[in-house]
Structure 1
């Protein structure tokens, strides 16, 4: 098979399946992984795909960045259902670190009857939590993101280190076999420390976040304990989650 034909076949596979591993492509095209690796480099230079550890994803499968208002309006019904499912996991009389995502905001609204000690870097979440009679709230320090109203930076990360909580609940910007990703390092470092401090780490994400990637890696899959989403992931990714001891909870 000529290289041009092989590249066209790889492009077609990525376009149809949105992502693929090098092992899968090598088997499909009957060539070595080294050959596939060189082909993926060529296609990445053509802006056809983005290489990941062990494979590639199509460009349009990279997670899209929205501002807070846009994100809060997307997939509202799904967020509500995920929020109900997440709230079922939370025991009464517990401590929780909440990140600044809009799906986490939906979860918070379902916890108003529980006694919790809440820690968050989101001013929006803090105002909501302050309305709950049984909730004590700590707002983390740091630099303020003026559009999305969350706090970040070295001061934020350092303060999180002082806490040891029952749960960390975080929204997922992008998740794949390579781990959890986000579009900025500053927010990613905050999320990474939040994960370190929670006994049980619960990640919440609708299906559009699955098998996507981002600029900054937050953690490996084995750093989270539970993934709550609306649809069962594709088999390859599902197996990867299971191999990393992630408990997958779906609405299906």
Structure 2
């Protein structure tokens, strides 16, 4: 049986690799009860190693997880492009689409040249790229501008999203587990939450490092999600949760 010191060390290793993780995931990985994991996380939080959040934990230095736009754009580009290409194939011609500010969603744009879409976004960079597609119509949401990550947010942004009802909303996932989708900041989370409420179909894009992880702010439960596109099969518990919530899983 693993000693407590070994278990605490293993939890740190998992969080360093995945950036955040749910209690359920940690319990399965360490083969202990969820109550044991909760006690371990309390110890690690007292040592200021981790920060406990809804349903799990993240590294205490949360700022290390929040990349600026250029850093985010360069991460795992090959996987992003595979996921994005599949997402673009789901879009029917002349559809109306809400696109969040994630670089995963941005990767869809090069595959949209023959679609003739109406794209509504809160991202300055997405809007710029979309204007280069002659067949597209582009609308950018109003609000405050985040200067480092180039997205628009705030009450004005959320209110304007309520004016639309579109065919698809595309959301890049920061963290997702059996309890739902999460992100590290409330301002982005509120925008994403409203986007998924204003579409016929919500499609989430997540590479395998985002699965069975958690975040500070809960965007929604899984039942609000229609499709999850990722690059590796999730854990059996997460697969069960997707099936129970009628979320279609697409692997690329």
Q: TM > 0.5 between the two?
A: yes
Paired with 2:212 and 2:25, the residues of 1 have a C-alpha distance of 15
Indicate whether 1:11 and 2:3 are aligned. no
Partner residue in 2 for 1:194: 195
- Is 1:74 the counterpart of 2:71 in the alignment? no
Per-residue CA shift, 1:176-226, capped at 9, x if unaligned? 223212222111111111111011000111112222222222111221111
In 2, Cα distance between the equivalents of 1:52 and 1:144? 27
1:41 CA drift (Å): 2.6
Say how many residue pairs are matched: 244
Aligned 8 A contact 2:123 2:150 in 1: yes
Matches of 1:170 and 1:159 in 2, distance apart?
17
RMSD across aligned positions (CA): 2.9
The residue aligned with 2:130 is 129
Shift of 1:52: 5.0
Contact 2:58–2:215 (Cα < 8 Å) also in 1: no
> Per the alignment, in what secondary structure is the counterpart of residue 156 of structure 2?
helix
TM-score (norm 2): 0.84
Any conservation in 2 of the 1:95–1:117 contact (CA below 8 Å)?
A: yes
Shifted more, 103-112 versus 215-224: the winner is 215-224
CA distance in 2, matches of 1:37, 1:104: 34
Q: Which of structures 1 and 2 has the larger relative contact order (alpha carbons within 8 angstroms, sep 6+)? A: 2
- Name the CA distance, whole Å, in 1 between partners of 2:144 and 2:189: 14
Range with greater deviation from structure 2 (115-124 or 173-182): 173-182
Query: How far, CA to CA, are the matches of 1:110 and 1:143 in structure 2?
Result: 29
SS where residue 21 of structure 1 aligns? Answer: helix
Distance 1:72 1:229, change over 3 A: same
Partner residue, 1:99: 100
Instruction: State how far apart, in whole Å, the 2-side matches of 1:40 and 1:86 are.
Output: 37
Q: CA deviation at 1:235?
A: 1.9
In our comparison, the structure showing a higher alpha carbon Rg is 1
Map 1:203-218 onto structure 2 (within 5 A).
Answer: 203-218=204-219
Partner of 2:150: 149
Are the structure 2 counterparts of residues 36 and 213 from structure 1 closer, same or farther at C-alpha, using a change threshold of 3 Å?
A: closer
CA contact (8 A) 1:227 1:248 kept: yes
1:52–1:178: 8 Å Cα contact kept in structure 2? Answer: no
**In the aligned structure 2, how far is the partner of 1:139 from the partner of 1:208?**
30
1:219 counterpart residue number: 220
> Aligned pair in 2 of structure 1 residues 170, 48: CA closer, same or farther (>3 Å)?
same
Distance change in 2, residues 1:132/1:52 (3 Å): same
